[in-house]
Chain A
Amino acid sequence: MLGLSFVELIELFIKVLIFPGTLFSLLFSIIVIWFERKFLARMHLRIGPLHVGPFNRLGLFQPIADFLKLVQKEIITPSRANKFLYDLMPMLAAFLSALSIAFIPYALDPSGGYWVIFYTPLSLLVILVILTAKPFIMVGAGWAANNKYCTIGALRAAFQLLAYEIPIVLSLAGIVIATRSFDLARIVEAQSSVWFIILQPIGFIVILIAMMAELLRRPFDIPLAEQEVVFGWPTEYTGVQFALVMVAEYFDLCVTASLITILFLGGWSGPAIPLLHDISPMLSGIFWFLLKMAVITVIVIMGRGVFPRLRIDQLLESGWTVLIPLAIIQILITLATAQWWLPLIGV
């Protein structure tokens, strides 16, 4: 079957179903949603979710309860909506977001190779291509719902995502130039002695900000601005369709955190954790990977408690006039200084 041996097949199942596939990404979403609610509640001087789940006053199972509630709800399609596109888009959003996870290597495989569902030397390029499909989904969903708020929100999303993809691609260019590879695993290996956050700090800042805009997190949640366009392009979705939109959002967060970890924070590299390392060196790598992901996630979440929302013209202005020049400067610096530090990363 598929030209795989029995052991390889089992391994593939583990990868797809457990880590880094379905179970991990769903668990990540649930934990992040819970953490976001509790953490923001603390910033707001509130208590946050309280009663659901074990451990008193933690509300640990609140996201699961919310998800179950959403699944139970009736799916309502507006009578004037384009039914096919309207029903398709949430599924497509969740599918595409989940698809990116298949190309991200999470650790070194003990038997050689990488712990990744589908290995390709062009993994970074594939993820970028998937990223460019997001505005299409938002515009499609916003248009299909046939609601004025949805349409305005979708158009805002299209503007914002198109403007902020360019700095992302440009700041990735610095790394691709340095490592001469689109292979995420290769990029991690290049950082075995020094991380790219030190060699390319401007690129890191640019990509962090641009990724927050890409994820529509505050202060860049303009397409979803409650006070202006109610909820932007997913306004009309209810029940399980809304749940899919939410899941896609947090899958995207998972992909983004993984991507930044790999590109700038050295992926799974880190000193061996004694206890985990004894069981398997891979576990130690996964530990470091998840820790770095957590740091990025907390930074992204924190924006919601600290900033008011920007206006669309301010956002586009800062995208075109600040982030893109900064990313280009980073490329120029990379080109100018590469000869000194290229040996450091083994090129």
Chain B
Amino acid sequence: MKLSMGPQHPVTSHFRFILDVDGDAVLNFEWDVGYTHRGIEKMAENRIYIQNIPVVERINSYCDAIGTTLGYVEVVEELTGIEIPERAKYLRVIAAELNRIASHLYAVSLVGISAGFETMLMWTINDRELILDLLVKLSGQRITYTYPTIGGVRWDMPDGFKEDALKRLDYLEKRLEDYYKMMAWNRTFQMRFKNVGILKPSDAVKLGIVGPNLRASGVKADVRKDEPYEVYDRFDFEVPTGKNGDSFDRASMRLKEIEQSIVILRQALKDIPKGPIKGSPKGSKIPPTAPRGEAYSRVESARGEFGYYLVSDGKSKPYRLKISTPSFRNLPALPHLCRNVPLGDIPVIFITFDYIPLDVDR
């Protein structure tokens, strides 16, 4: 029986899966994406560089907006050669890590609901709000921050932000233990997630998987370590890896990464220097015209590696902006894992990869 799962379905959001179902077994799996295509790459060609920041933010607006925009401003800075002040680099790291925590909490909440575990959904979404409050203080927005800008960041930290952030991180660290218990002590949770959708390291590399999903398979690859951008080389943190590469590893990988993000945030909040937050002392109002040439930048967003390739013909607008998004690069894993599995495993495997349809289609 052909079963068309989505794009109107409680779990697939804007994806459509075409399943060959025999009773409760899935024999064949195909994905059909493109329901949220907005042509952001083409839109970017019609706007000046600074106008493009909110545009590319819409690639991944409700989860990891900072990680998305950071890649874009970096590629523009690389092309134009703008130096950014130290404080702005630290602020970018703080914002990016806070947003990574928020995004991972969101991912963990969806992991819970993929097997009908509503308590996990509610608890994590509740705690995500604490982090969003911090980001509101930093940037004035809950989800679409437009915080990094070309040549620095838009706003400085408000008074009392540091103490508030440290307090909330302490609380979150305590709550992380509860989440670990929810996963590791709950036998039913383990029955549903352990040994489901095992992605071997060799297969993961071959399929081009990126981000936490790749690390859950046991491959140590993180742009923050391998090719440090901003000031990530100054912080002492680990890159956690999983053992089996199953859905349980992918789910708990998010919690481990939140732990490391807290470690980074504490160091960043401690070390942050004083100084300006934007490149030009007066605050540049004129968008830069990039010189003729091309540049590439990659950042580790919450879902994995974001790549931006920018070609400029010397005018005020980009000639071409090619974006490679992590969710799209993780997509080949689904047909690889979702054949000959029970129907009940489809949402579990799908959700633990933490796809964002907006991210896949751009």
Residues of A within 8 A of B (CB): 40, 43-46, 148, 152, 155-156, 218-219, 221-222, 225-230, 304-314
> How far is the CB of A44 from the nearest CB of chain B, in Å?
4
Interface residues on B, range: 20 to 34
CB pair B191–A313 under 8 Å, yes or no, is: no
CB pair A304–B118 under 8 Å, yes or no, is: yes
Set of chain B residues within 8 Å of A227, measured between Cβ atoms: 10-11, 113-116, 347
> How far is the CB of A250 from the nearest CB of chain B, in Å?
19
Give residues of chain B (73-110) contacting chain A, Cβ–Cβ below 8 Å.
none
Asked if B112 is an interface residue, CB under 8 A from chain A, the answer is: yes
Set of chain A residues within 8 Å of B344, measured between Cβ atoms: 222, 225, 228, 309, 311-312
Asked if B9 is an interface residue, CB under 8 A from chain A, the answer is: yes
Asked if B157 is an interface residue, CB under 8 A from chain A, the answer is: no
Set of chain A residues within 8 Å of B122, measured between Cβ atoms: 44-46
Residues of B within 8 A of A (CB): 1, 3, 9-11, 21, 23-24, 112-123, 126, 186, 188-189, 191-192, 342-347
CB pair A228–B343 under 8 Å, yes or no, is: yes
Known A-B contacts A46-B122, A310-B192, A312-B344; A155 and B116 likewise in contact (beta carbons under 8 Å): no
Set of chain A residues within 8 Å of B10, measured between Cβ atoms: 226-227, 230
CB pair B11–A311 under 8 Å, yes or no, is: no
CB pair A308–B117 under 8 Å, yes or no, is: yes
> How far is the CB of A32 from the nearest CB of chain B, in Å?
18
CB pair A40–B118 under 8 Å, yes or no, is: yes
Set of chain B residues within 8 Å of A226, measured between Cβ atoms: 10-11, 116
CB pair B1–A308 under 8 Å, yes or no, is: no
The 7 lowest CB-CB distance pairs between A and B, nearest first, are A44-B122, A308-B115, A309-B116, A308-B117, A311-B344, A227-B347, A227-B11
Chain B residue with Cβ nearest A313: B342
> How far is the CB of A37 from the nearest CB of chain B, in Å?
12
CB pair B24–A314 under 8 Å, yes or no, is: no
CB pair A44–B119 under 8 Å, yes or no, is: yes
CB pair A305–B24 under 8 Å, yes or no, is: no
Q: How far is the CA of A221 from the CA of B117 in the complex (A)?
A: 12
Q: A227-B11, A306-B186, A310-B191 are in contact. List 16 more A-B contacts (CB 8 A).
A: A44-B118, A44-B119, A155-B24, A222-B344, A225-B116, A225-B344, A227-B115, A227-B347, A228-B343, A229-B343, A230-B9, A307-B186, A308-B112, A309-B115, A309-B116, A311-B192
Set of chain A residues within 8 Å of B189, measured between Cβ atoms: 308
CB pair A152–B114 under 8 Å, yes or no, is: no
Q: How far is the CA of A314 from the CA of B115 in the complex (A)?
A: 13
Chain B residue with Cβ nearest A314: B191
Set of chain B residues within 8 Å of A304, measured between Cβ atoms: 118
Q: How far is the CA of A312 from the CA of B342 in the complex (A)?
A: 8
Chain A CB within 10 A, most for which of B24, B126, B342: B24
Set of chain B residues within 8 Å of A46, measured between Cβ atoms: 122
A-B contact pairs, 28 of them (CB 8 A): A43-B119, A44-B119, A46-B122, A155-B23, A155-B24, A221-B116, A222-B344, A225-B116, A225-B344, A226-B10, A226-B116, A227-B10, A227-B11, A227-B113, A227-B115, A227-B347, A228-B347, A229-B343, A304-B118, A305-B118, A307-B188, A308-B117, A308-B120, A308-B186, A309-B115, A309-B117, A311-B192, A311-B345
